[in-house]
Chain A
Amino acid sequence: QVQLEESGGGVVQPGRSLRLSCAASGFIFSSYDMHWVRQAPGKGLEWVAVIWYDGSNRYYADSVKGRFTISRDNSKNTLYLQMNSLRAEDTAVYYCARRYCPNGACYNAFDYWGQGTLVTVSS
């Protein structure tokens, strides 16, 4: 069965860095575009970044552009999010999510999500 498991969250001081990982299993990871989505405590969902299935393209939300880097290692079935220059407003649960691609067709939606990892930026 499809599983996505995030790790790497924790408490970090403003201005510092953190790297999140998302271990994927149960599907052909290298065939899927992957996303990061975050949710601040008690708030709504915010899309963060996407990386294409082969790593050839990456796009970011304006709020993280220049500070965050999405990457993947298809040989390890793992997605990453390198977060630099962290700010208090980056405090959130970070989810990795898989693009919805049933039966060979792909859509702009997310069908599987991890359980999330909490990042708290605080001094």
Chain B
Amino acid sequence: QSALTQPASVSESPGQSITISCTGTSSDVGDFKYVSWYQQHPDKAPKLMIYDVSNRPSGVSNRFSGSKSGNTASLTISGLQAEDEADYYCSSYTSSSTVFGTGTKVTVL
């Protein structure tokens, strides 16, 4: 149950796009379509942004999109806005358990 690997930080200007990677193994990300992404603002509970690799829950902006290739999943945020500044975590289902990513701090310059 090793944590999935994410870049520690990503920065970009408002209006631009960023992509956050999430690398696992053939036992988690690579073996299941059950990758989800969470946004967490400081001192707040996480918020579900993407489930099943690329699906958005109702109410989540279509500026957020997800994809997967092999053992790596990705979250793309387009048209970056100030309120997108937060920590982002991926997670993957893996044989009756769940593993989270190491987390990525997104800074809007």
Mutual binders A and B: yes
Q: Given A44-B101, A47-B98, A102-B57, is A108 in contact with B93 using a C-beta cutoff of 8 Å?
A: yes
Task: Report the stretch among B19-27, B46-54, B73-81 that lies at the interface.
Answer: B46-54
Q: What total of A-B pairs shows CB separation below 8 Å?
A: 70
Q: Which of A50, A109, A116 has the most CB of B within 10 A?
A: A109
Q: Mark A92-123, 1 if CB is under 8 A from B, else 0.
A: 00010000101000011111011110000000
Chain B residues bordering chain A, tally (CB within 8 A): 27
**Dominant secondary structure of chain A at its interface with chain B:** strand
Contact B103 A44 (CB under 8 A): yes
Q: Given A35-B98, A47-B99, A59-B96, is A113 in contact with B45 using a C-beta cutoff of 8 Å?
A: yes
Q: Check if A61 is an interface residue, CB within 8 A of chain B.
A: yes
Contact A47 B91 (CB under 8 A): yes
What are the residues of chain A within 8 A of B55 when measuring CB–CB? 107
Interface on A for B, CB 8 Å cutoff? 35, 37, 44-47, 50, 57, 59-63, 95, 100, 102, 107-111, 113-116
